[in-house]
Structure 1
Amino acid sequence: MAFSPSSVPGFFPLLIAIIVILQLQSYETQAGGLALPLRTQKLQSLSTPHPPSKLRFHRNVSLTVTIAVGTPPQNVTMVLDTGSELSWLLCDTGPLSQFRPRASSSYAPIPCSSPTCKSQTRDLPNLSSCDSATHNCHVSLTYADASTAEGTLVSDLFLVGGPPARRTNLRCQSSPSSAGDTTAAGMLGMNRGSLSFVAQTKTSRFSYCISDRDAGVLLLGPSNIVPLNYTPLVQISLPLPYFDRVAYSVQLETIRVGAKTLPIPKSVLLPDHTGAGQTMVDSGTQFSFLLGQAYEILKDEFLRQTSGVLNPEKGYVFQGAFDTCFRATQLAAAAAVRRIPAVVLGFQGAEVAGGGGGGGGVLHRVEGERRGNNEGVWCFTFGNSDLVPMEAYVIGHHHQQNIWVEYDLENSRVGFAPVQCDLASRKLGVML
């Protein structure tokens, strides 16, 4: 998930996202990037051998990538998270574990004396200690649901695409973190912190595009696929209790439903003096979240514009934060979608549209919920941060569908462009 307990107090995760599986073939782009194609595939297929550089994904629990770690390489499935820093792996813990440290000659625990063990990063804010028995660095995190995740700080070689392999620090733990995907073998931290995978491998730019067919492409390096509209990263130098300084934080300026710009006071969309209210672009969260005041204004306008189109399912709350839900048959929902307005998030220099032909839908069918007359339950894909609770706006990957999203660390900005992902992928030689 994109949030650490230090940046979002009280947060508990929504375990919904996308599965991505790395295969053995990669595509070098003219701009020098590495294109990794994505395909729909079930998690059970992870044991099937694939070439190590092609990515496939399937909607399941988390956005994960299977990469090669260790010497000789071992394929491991890790959550791809642009909101987390220190990567972690399950090590020798039964059926979920895919990494065997003793089988890797390049595996190395980090000693207590290492400067890395003593570093103060987002994921290691006074949370590292020394294991008196092994004299290795020990890391422990406590999450908002009172669960803990702990393990040894280690390093090993990561092979992405092709040689050379890159030595990376991570946490080797004995049990899954409840703040992440319990079906994954680990998590790959992709934020801007000093211990993130992108920082350790000196990756200055990466991007992806997710189609509405659950297929797409992940690109490491420069893209130059489509002209992008960039918005600058919001950077605050002072440490604030609710502001994550290494997240991909942008400034949300407007929200539009159809043609109507919502009357949300500017102050509601700005981080306050504590840092609460930042807006994060996050691959580790499926849906999007707004702080309560902005959410209520959006909800009221969405209900107004869809009155007579959708039948509200009163009293139902999905995943503890999505309280704008409806009931409809599959046929009625499909007809309604064509009449539902897009929700557009506006930033300085860029915007992201969801639904109404934009990137990603504004309704999600809740699996397993059935009502009379063969009706299902459908929920608005924007949630109320106050119900979680967390002190942030979050743009999840569901609202990034058919949008090329680029994380440009070198120039401190995030780029967006609406595209048809299957067509854009062909420019890289990748067929979806």
Structure 2
Amino acid sequence: MSLLKFTLLTVVFIINHFTLINSSTSFVAKVSRDESTSLYTLLLSMKTPLQPTTLLLDLSGKYSWIDCSAGVYISSTHHYIPCNSQQCNSLTSLACSDDCFDQAGPSCHSSSCGLFPENPVINNTVLAQALVDTVGLSVTDGSSVTGKVGVVPNFVLSCSDTSLLRGLPDGVSGLAGLGRFNYSLPSQVYCSAGVYISSTHHYIPCNSHQCNSLTSLACSDDCFDQAGPGCHSSSCGLFPENPVINNTVLAQALVDTVGLSVTDGSSVTGKVGVVPNFVLSCSDTSLLRGLPDGVSGLAGLGRFNYSLPSQVSKVFNSPRVFALCLPSCPNTTEYSGAAFFNTRGPYNFASGVDLSSHLSYTPLIINPIGFTLITYFNYPSAEYFIGLTSIKVDGKQVDINPSLLTIDKNGYGGTILSTITPYTTLHTSIYRPFIQLFKNESMTRNLTISTNPVSPFEVCFNASGMHKMWFGPKVPVIDLVMHSEDVFWKVYGLNSMVKVESEYGEGLWCLGFVDGGDEARTSVVIGGKQMEDNMLQFDLENERLGFSSILEHKSSCIEFNFTDGYWSQPTCSDDCFDQAGPSCHSSSCGLFPENPVINNTVLAQALVDTVGLSVTDGSSVTGKVGVVPNFVLSCSDTSLLRGLPDGVSGLAGLGRFNYSLPSQVSKVFNSPRVFALCLPSCPNTTEYSGAAFFNTRGPYNFASGVDLSSHLSYTPLIINPIGFTLITYFNYPSAEYFIGLTSIKIDGKQVDINPSLLTIDNNGYGGTRLSTITPYTILQTSIYRPFIQLFINESMTHNLTISTNPVSPFEVCFNASGMHKTWFGPKVPVIDLVMHSEDVFWKVYGSNSMVKVEDEYGEGLWCLGFVDGGDEARTSVVIGGKQMEDNMLQFDLENERLGFSSILEHKSSCIEFNFTDGYWSQPSL
């Protein structure tokens, strides 16, 4: 962690210990669509050395499995999970591979944790071993891959034999389980001898803590085959499932390595994040039946501790968030969708729009009853359920029994998302009125219904008379209405219609919804076709699904940049007529830096240089320096310094922008986007400085010895979609920090405020923001008037004498001579700024509410430090610097929340951070 002193515009930086890949690194993996099976595959780097491995993508998969057949699974890092170990139990293992009678290897290891990996295509499973190895994920910046790889060590998956690959796409080696389980994407990869080759794999002992955590129901006590990834005695047993053919086998849990490409949200960076000790399940080749060609197993993304997202999150200590953008085009080297891990965004595709800022959200719902081929008692479903409440076709509501859309006590009903189901499946009593309404609405569009529909579809239209647009065939639009009428998933023709040919060679467009029958376990299963070209963010931290049609932004899921080095150049200053130097360089990037004090800007050049940051342990500076190379800032001439404090050389921008100081420090050190401010109430001297911390959520230790990070209250940070700057940047939200103030109280009595003023309207007006530029809190007139009146009324009960000579800009002042002083400042009515909940409030004591001044007659006064912002104020409440002083304010952009705590309550102040030891001026070079 690092730190630096500050005046008004110079700040303290705190930086976490440098690691190449950590919690702030975003990962991306290629997602492909297999044309022959309509299934989706995920490309990962697995084993050691890292090898490209294609897995079936299963959104509901508890853990991942891989083919461990002889000669296939080769890894130097894999190992096994012992039977009855804690990890084996956590895998919900139901078996133990007690004896392995084959050649020892990834799929044969005695006394290892047994799992039942599932093939969801053919609904089959086998008993296989849990395996631990390494997974690599490409790093992304949100727009493309960076060229780096993030490695997931100790990745848990399940081995299987080749039989479990039946029905999966060609080339698939297993299954990537993304379901709701701690070991989802313990990728069910088949582990037949010679198939899984890795120098890093190892096994999980039976009955170990890890085996138990895998919900292992068996133990591979003896391995009678050649020792290897699929055979290891006394290893943790799992049952990886093939969800295509609905089959499972008893297989061993395996531990190995996974690599993920690093992204910046726009492209891949060229780096790889490695996940060591990745837990998955081995299986034999039989479990691959029915999966796409080339698939090696299954990537489980479900709700489970060993799913792929869960293990990545645990290794990098990051939020449990992943996002999918399924491609609508068949798999080729050019056409891949994207899966993002470790990041809430950005998600930048070719349109240049960050889809993370265009998501609608609906709660994720947990089904308490899980349905798998092997029954795991008392475990909830690993599937992702959402609260669909109705379906509309061209705005008209389908007649549905509401009880079908809720989950009953037996786990039946409700709505799930499935990457295994190719087309949305509806319970018969929903399907019948749905297709009838769709046909009725189609008639109003003069669409010709075919008399020769193609199975499994019932409603098809002649393609010859069908109009096409960017959103696909021009057919009735379907709205899947979520928990609220104004939250709906819009299904355009590209997602609702499937192009086929009839038996007579006639081109048809068929409605891609099918009848699930009267006994359907789940009433609505949203299938892969309807999920394609939608950005879907699974935020398990906040239990919500974010969704947005990428089609609405004139893009598609195949347009993420997986080539290296993608970027665009901003507008350049074409000619420089001054002497060459930092502020004058021809054909360089031009910016408009702003002086917020005098509201002025100039055209200036972007500059890249180095920033040095003092390191702190949270209690003092350590004497070490963290260097931020390639720090981007803007040059300006001296004219832009007008109105700023003496000695200041420029402005440190801490706002909501990729090139703000916190953002750049976070990016360089791969750390959380968190910073904290403790503004001093004393004038600047060498002895009296406040502190700003970067890259850390704490500790924040001041002279009182109390760690303020453990005393923070939290309220959500709110994004104002409309930015107000001197130069207008279209489609960019505000860089300011807004919070959800709901009321103001004085000595417990509420100020009469129109609630609409405290929310942000469609034009970006209203709401509450924080500002270090505004010295005193500004209130819109209709808030200010009742506020000062109530303050005066409450002051009378304190026997305070109001001055008849207030000092501008203040309207309410009191004679200082009769004012009592406490540790919290002048003894005046206490102001509470009430946040999103009545029990979350920011307490403003006299030290923060009152300003010491003298009137024109030399009389000492204490004035209320709140001023009138006028009737036309853009922001209704601007909390100014005075009210922020001696408060610890933590801006946690990772979790979109503000933490706040008065340091005065702990008998300390912001000037009491220890800068005496090791503070640097010039680092040694």
TM-score when scaled to structure 2? 0.36
Looking at structure 2, the residues matched to 97 and 363 of structure 1 have their Cα atoms a distance apart, in angstroms, of 27
Looking at structure 1, the residues matched to 339 and 531 of structure 2 have their Cα atoms a distance apart, in angstroms, of 13
Q: What SS does the aligned partner of 1:311 have?
A: coil
1:175 maps to what in 2?
Answer: 285
Alignment of 1:76 with 2:76, yes or no, is no
2:433 maps to what in 1?
Answer: 297
Q: CA deviation at 1:315?
A: 7.5
Q: CA deviation at 1:190?
A: 0.6
2:698 maps to what in 1?
Answer: none
Once structures 1 and 2 are overlaid, which stretch shifts more, 205-214 or 297-306?
205-214
Alignment of 1:200 with 2:317, yes or no, is no
RMSD: 3.5
2:479 maps to what in 1?
Answer: 344
Alignment map for 1:236-275 (pairs within 5 Å): 238-239=368-369, 245-275=381-411
Q: Aligned AA for 2:26?
A: L
Looking at structure 1, the residues matched to 514 and 371 of structure 2 have their Cα atoms a distance apart, in angstroms, of 23
- Asked if the contact 2:431–2:515 (Cα under 8 Å) also holds between the matched residues in 1, the reply is yes
Looking at structure 2, the residues matched to 411 and 146 of structure 1 have their Cα atoms a distance apart, in angstroms, of 31
Listed one character per residue, the Cα deviations across residues 201-224 of structure 1 (whole Å, up to 9, x for unaligned) are: 226111133465565433221214
Alignment of 1:86 with 2:208, yes or no, is no
Q: CA deviation at 1:154?
A: 0.8
Q: Aligned AA for 2:464?
A: L
Q: 2:455 aligns with which of 307, 317, 323?
A: 317
Q: CA deviation at 1:277?
A: 0.9
Q: CA deviation at 1:235?
A: 2.9
1:153 maps to what in 2?
Answer: 253
2:499 maps to what in 1?
Answer: 365
Q: CA deviation at 1:108?
A: 0.8
Q: Aligned AA for 1:222?
A: R
Q: CA deviation at 1:167?
A: 2.1
Looking at structure 2, the residues matched to 371 and 180 of structure 1 have their Cα atoms a distance apart, in angstroms, of 25
Distance 1:402 1:146, change over 3 A: closer
1:19 maps to what in 2?
Answer: none
Q: Aligned AA for 2:311?
A: Q
Alignment map for 1:199-218 (pairs within 5 Å): 199-202=310-313, 204-210=320-326, 212=328, 215-218=336-339
Distance 1:96 1:136, change over 3 A: farther
Q: What SS does the aligned partner of 2:555 have?
A: helix
TM-score when scaled to structure 1? 0.74
Alignment map for 1:54-69 (pairs within 5 Å): 55=30, 57-60=32-35, 61=37, 62-69=39-46
2:544 maps to what in 1?
Answer: 413
- Asked if the contact 1:204–1:410 (Cα under 8 Å) also holds between the matched residues in 2, the reply is yes
Alignment of 1:187 with 2:298, yes or no, is yes
Q: Aligned AA for 1:107?
A: H
- Asked if the contact 1:35–1:217 (Cα under 8 Å) also holds between the matched residues in 2, the reply is no
Looking at structure 2, the residues matched to 208 and 421 of structure 1 have their Cα atoms a distance apart, in angstroms, of 18
Distance 1:302 1:217, change over 3 A: same
Looking at structure 2, the residues matched to 33 and 303 of structure 1 have their Cα atoms a distance apart, in angstroms, of 48
Listed one character per residue, the Cα deviations across residues 153-180 of structure 1 (whole Å, up to 9, x for unaligned) are: 1110111111333321111111243676
Distance 1:179 1:384, change over 3 A: farther
1:285 maps to what in 2?
Answer: 421
- Asked if the contact 1:327–1:371 (Cα under 8 Å) also holds between the matched residues in 2, the reply is no
Q: Aligned AA for 2:339?
A: L
Q: 2:220 aligns with which of 130, 152, 155?
A: 130
Distance 1:248 1:223, change over 3 A: same
Looking at structure 1, the residues matched to 275 and 524 of structure 2 have their Cα atoms a distance apart, in angstroms, of 36
Listed one character per residue, the Cα deviations across residues 226-265 of structure 1 (whole Å, up to 9, x for unaligned) are: 23211111135x5476995332211111101112111213
Q: Which runs of 5+ in 1 are unaligned?
A: 1-27, 37-52
Looking at structure 1, the residues matched to 282 and 219 of structure 2 have their Cα atoms a distance apart, in angstroms, of 14
Alignment of 1:331 with 2:486, yes or no, is no
- Asked if the contact 1:91–1:97 (Cα under 8 Å) also holds between the matched residues in 2, the reply is no
Looking at structure 1, the residues matched to 292 and 209 of structure 2 have their Cα atoms a distance apart, in angstroms, of 31
- Asked if the contact 1:153–1:171 (Cα under 8 Å) also holds between the matched residues in 2, the reply is yes
Query: Higher RCO, 1 or 2 (CA under 8 Å, sep at least 6)?
Result: 1
- Asked if the contact 2:533–2:556 (Cα under 8 Å) also holds between the matched residues in 1, the reply is no
Looking at structure 2, the residues matched to 102 and 120 of structure 1 have their Cα atoms a distance apart, in angstroms, of 21
- Asked if the contact 1:101–1:107 (Cα under 8 Å) also holds between the matched residues in 2, the reply is no
- Asked if the contact 2:534–2:549 (Cα under 8 Å) also holds between the matched residues in 1, the reply is yes
Q: CA deviation at 1:281?
A: 2.1
Distance 1:310 1:362, change over 3 A: farther
- Asked if the contact 1:90–1:97 (Cα under 8 Å) also holds between the matched residues in 2, the reply is no
How many residues get paired?
369
Q: What SS does the aligned partner of 2:404 have?
A: helix
Q: What SS does the aligned partner of 1:300 have?
A: helix
- Asked if the contact 1:352–1:400 (Cα under 8 Å) also holds between the matched residues in 2, the reply is no
Looking at structure 2, the residues matched to 172 and 338 of structure 1 have their Cα atoms a distance apart, in angstroms, of 43
2:211 maps to what in 1?
Answer: 117
Q: 2:555 aligns with which of 422, 428, 431?
A: 422
Q: Aligned AA for 2:338?
A: V
Once structures 1 and 2 are overlaid, which stretch shifts more, 387-396 or 106-115?
387-396
Percent of aligned pairs with the same amino acid: 21
- Asked if the contact 1:241–1:274 (Cα under 8 Å) also holds between the matched residues in 2, the reply is no
Q: CA deviation at 1:411?
A: 0.6
Listed one character per residue, the Cα deviations across residues 271-300 of structure 1 (whole Å, up to 9, x for unaligned) are: 122121121123333321122211111011
Q: What SS does the aligned partner of 1:207 have?
A: strand
Q: CA deviation at 1:85?
A: 0.9
- Asked if the contact 2:326–2:533 (Cα under 8 Å) also holds between the matched residues in 1, the reply is yes
Distance 1:143 1:416, change over 3 A: closer
- Asked if the contact 1:191–1:246 (Cα under 8 Å) also holds between the matched residues in 2, the reply is yes
Q: CA deviation at 1:416?
A: 1.1
Alignment map for 1:367-386 (pairs within 5 Å): 369-372=501-504, 374-386=505-517
Q: CA deviation at 1:119?
A: 3.8
Looking at structure 2, the residues matched to 281 and 194 of structure 1 have their Cα atoms a distance apart, in angstroms, of 19
More strand by share: 2
Q: Aligned AA for 2:547?
A: F
